[in-house]
A and B are shown apart, each in its own frame.
Chain A
Amino acid sequence: MRGNWLSHLMTALTIAFVVLIFGLSTLIYFNLHRLAENYSREIRIVTYIDPALLPEDIEGLKAKVLKLRGVANIRYITRQEGYQRLVQQFQDEKDILAGLGEDFLPPTLEIEVTGTMYNLGRIRPLVSELTSLPGITDVYYGKEWVERLRQAADFTRLITFAIGGLLLLTTIFVVSNTIKLTIYLRRNELETMRLVGATNFFIRGPFVLEGMLQGLVGSGLAMLALFALFEFLNTQVSFPGFIRFFSPIFLPIPVVTGIIAGSIILCAVVSAFSMRQFLRV
């Protein structure tokens, strides 16, 4: 490493920059995932049932609904229960309900869906299956919300993968060029090592170690910077609207360790491959 510390520093900083971008997008994806998970737990599909159905027909309908894929639980709300709920909700404005009979609402089935945001795409087909069931007159769910959540999740996942790919390419390019520059600067030394009988493993070893060190320093710096940025945003910036009640968390230790370990392995592999051309006999 002697002699060209500047190029090693620049490499480590470049790796740090790329890993920081990757880490930032992972952090956003991770928290968006949690946010969506929280909201998706709240998702309920409400189906209105034909008031003319007999109790045994209702039991049959409940059994059919429970068998549909994506249905976690159902709850049957009678017309009277539905009315009582409204009364509870409008305690202070009872006038609104004046003149309405206790049976003005149709009976409903409240459906809880399984899984998290991974299953958001499943809601739409489930809704059409419900609609087609005889005895169900109408189906309501937070259509816009579900769609938005699903789109945001898909988009962030795509961005994270794209940045991951960018990380891979940039690291390969930067590390391999640094190694080539180092080989050029140390070509006489390496030639002498070959002449005295050094094996490829002996020659390659220090370069691979240098690559690993660059990966460790670069990704370590990136994670520190990301943590500092996260802490700053978390304490200084107040989030608007619906996010206000959601407290973002930093990437868990296994994810941070994975990013650092991945960077080290990537740099080691790129270093080893960059030397192949030189190590021909």
Chain B
Amino acid sequence: MDAPLIELKHVYKSYEQDLTVLEDINLRIGKGEFVFVNGPSGAGKTTLLKVILCLERSTKGEVWVDGINLRRLSNYKIPYLRRRMGMVFQDFKLIENLTVFENVALAMEVCGVKKSVIEQKVDQVLKSLGLEIKKRIYPRRLSGGEQQRVAIARSVVNDPLVLLADEPTGNLDAGRAADIMSLFNEISARGTTVIFATHNQELIRSTAKRVIVLDQGRIVN
């Protein structure tokens, strides 16, 4: 494998002395790779993604993202790292009082992109996800599948290096889940590294991707 895009070396994450959520995680994920993170609830999947996105700092060990050691990354640089990553959640995390267009545009606005560029790029992304006719609608008027597509649009609009997904199909029925899955495959095919956390075995079996299995905070496969 070439130099990995993401590398975790002996990573531990504890909240209190007795509560260790991640334990001795060693992991290398290459550029453009699609990786599933699988495991039961409470296995540490979400914490692993949060550590990579720097929403949580590891208690011990090193986390490297695109050559950056996150342990040494100062707080004020963290937002700039996050702009190079996208994240999709089970509960979508859309802003209720912003339209579909505004929700997606927010990811570019925080980067200080010019308005004209934002309009063009957001329209393009919404069109590619079949959401162009919903752009003026507020999230609560969309179905779960549509809301998740908006969240995906927001996460890819800045062309991130990595897309982190935390149970993105968890709130969707099987048909919608398959649609979302195919979207992730398309994004991966364009060269984006995808880390997809799910406890859905069926979804994993439907593809032949690399799977990392977590149990009680440890990688078990």
Contacts and interface: CB of A to CB of B under 8 A. Distances in A.
Interface string B110-129: 11000000000000000000
A202 interface: yes
A198 B108 CA distance: 10
A199 B78 CA distance: 8
A197 B97 contact: no
Contact of A196 (B54, B57, B106): B106
Interface stretch (B79-87, B179-187, B205-213): B79-87
A244 interface: no
Contact of A193 (B54, B80, B106): B106
A281 B154 CA distance: 21
Interface string A255-281: 000000000000000000000000011
Chain B residues touching A, range: 20 to 34
Contacts of B80: 197
A189 B111 CA distance: 17
A194 B91 CA distance: 16
Nearest to A279: B75
Contacts of A281: 54-55, 57, 75, 78
Interface in B85-108: 87, 93-97, 106-107
25 contacts: A188-B95, A189-B97, A192-B93, A192-B94, A192-B95, A192-B106, A193-B106, A193-B110, A194-B79, A195-B82, A195-B87, A195-B93, A196-B110, A197-B80, A197-B81, A197-B107, A197-B110, A198-B79, A198-B110, A199-B76, A199-B79, A200-B76, A200-B79, A281-B55, A281-B78
A46 B55 CA distance: 80
Contacts of B96: 188
Contacts of A199: 76, 79, 110
A26 to B, nearest CB: 41
A254 to B, nearest CB: 38
A3 interface: yes
A198 B82 CA distance: 9
Nearest to B107: A196
Interface in A197-218: 197-200, 202
A2 interface: yes
B110 A202 contact: yes
Nearest to A195: B87
A3 B79 contact: no
A281 B76 CA distance: 8
Interface in B143-170: 154
Contacts of A193: 106, 110
Interface string A180-197: 000000001101111111
A27 to B, nearest CB: 43
B106 A197 contact: no
Which of the listed residues B76, B81, B94, B95 has the most CB atoms from chain A within 10 Å of its own CB? B95
A199 B81 CA distance: 11
B54 A197 contact: no
B76 A196 contact: no
Nearest to A203: B110
Given A192-B106, A202-B110, A197 B95 contact: no
Given A196-B83, A196-B154, A199-B110, 11 more contacts: A2-B97, A188-B95, A189-B97, A192-B93, A192-B94, A192-B106, A193-B106, A193-B110, A194-B79, A196-B82, A197-B107
